[in-house]
Amino acid sequence: MSETLDLTEVLSRLLRAERILLLCHKNPDGDTLGSAAALYHALKKLGKEQVAVLCADLIPARYDYMQMERFTGQFEPGYVVAVDVASIQLFGDAVREYAERVDLCIDHHASNAGYADALYLDAEASATAEIIFQLVEKMGIELDPLIADCIYTGISTDTGCFLFGNTTARCHEVAARLMQAGAHVRDLNLVLFETKSRARLAIESIALSHLEYHFDDRCAMIYMTREQIESTGVEASDLEGLTSLPRQIEGVEVGITLRQLPSGSYKISVRTMPGVDACAICTRLGGGGHAQAAGCELMGGLDNAKQAILAEVERELCRES
């Protein structure tokens, strides 16, 4: 297990570090990228000359405004920091070389596996970016509009724009501070939450035509095969938002979204109402996440994947009721 640090010690190690490599998780979301980018800019402000960000997967172009330098081997990393990465599997094979030598992990997932040498974990934080906000405050550097944009991206995406159960008074306080610091909240919200591609609308329409109900309508499920995904031309990152859809239906306690990956296996997203543990469902299938939002990946065809996840959903619903 990792050595547990407090925020003062995190800062002290970062101040001593040189040639800092920041690692994100695969299928990067706004929080892992926003946290990495905010930390990147903060470290540059502290005078670190060599800092760069690495992610196994392509970073979607809509995050270009974060302006972080990508790691392409331009230096030999002296200190490796993972942000928002709960387990070593979540790095992706392309960055395995560095994933196995993480000096420090900063995370808000209670399920963090403790794979790093040292860990700063705050499971009360809505997003890892909320921790980065505290860290930036502690650094005593100016919260400029760019850093504010990066932190806002992390907090807003992980809370579904202040919608999900992880939203706290502190989230709102930080958001107010970020807006005062010049975060371009209107532009960011338009990009992050209010833009759907035509392809996204098309796949949404297909997914809705597949809507299935299980266990007395307590569970709703949608799925997308690779063929359907490719027929619409929708991007992987575009599919993320769909995962909230089945749980939103009145009376539904567990919403399941299955989407086939290029490898043929199924990525499964589980969203639950309070009282049903999404993380428990996914952990038993080798995945993980939060109490109301978790995920896993299952090999085999659609029917196998459905059966496996439904069996675990049933087990959880029986346990709860």
Question: Does residue 60 interact with its own copies by CB under 8 A?
Answer: no
Task: Decide whether 9 or 235 has the Cβ nearer to its own copies.
Answer: 235
Helix (H) or strand (E) holding 256: strand 254-260
Helix (H) or strand (E) holding 229: helix 226-232
Over 37-75, what HEC string results?
Answer: HHHHHHHHHCCCCCEEEECCCCCCHHHHHHCCCECCCCC
Q: List the one residue from 201, 261, 299, 311 that touches its own copies (CB under 8 A).
A: 201
- Alpha-carbon dihedral 309, 315, 319, 320, rounded to 10 degrees: 30
Compose the 115-154 pattern: x for residues touching its own copies by CB under 8 A, - for all others: ----------------------------------------
Using the contact rule CB under 8 A, the part of the chain among 65-73, 95-103, 166-174, 224-232 near its own copies is 166-174
Spatial separation of the C-alpha atoms in residues 294 and 272, rounded to whole Å: 9
Question: Does residue 262 interact with its own copies by CB under 8 A?
Answer: no
Question: Does residue 170 interact with its own copies by CB under 8 A?
Answer: yes
Question: Does residue 274 interact with its own copies by CB under 8 A?
Answer: yes
In angstroms, the first-to-last Cα distance of the chain is 35
Q: List the one residue from 6, 76, 194, 227 that touches its own copies (CB under 8 A).
A: 194
Spatial separation of the C-alpha atoms in residues 89 and 271, rounded to whole Å: 21
Task: Kindly list the strands in the beta sheet with 20-23, ordered across the sheet, starting from the edge strand earlier in the chain.
Answer: 3-4, 118-121, 104-107, 79-83, 20-23, 51-54
Asked if residues 150 and 66 have their Cβ atoms less than 8 Å apart, the reply is yes
Compose the 206-245 pattern: x for residues touching its own copies by CB under 8 A, - for all others: --xx-x--------------------------------x-
State the minimum distance, in angstroms, from the CB of residue 60 to its own copies.
13
Residues that bind its own copies (CB under 8 A): 161-165, 167-170, 172-173, 175-177, 179-180, 185-186, 189-190, 193-198, 201, 204-205, 208-209, 211, 244, 247-250, 273-274
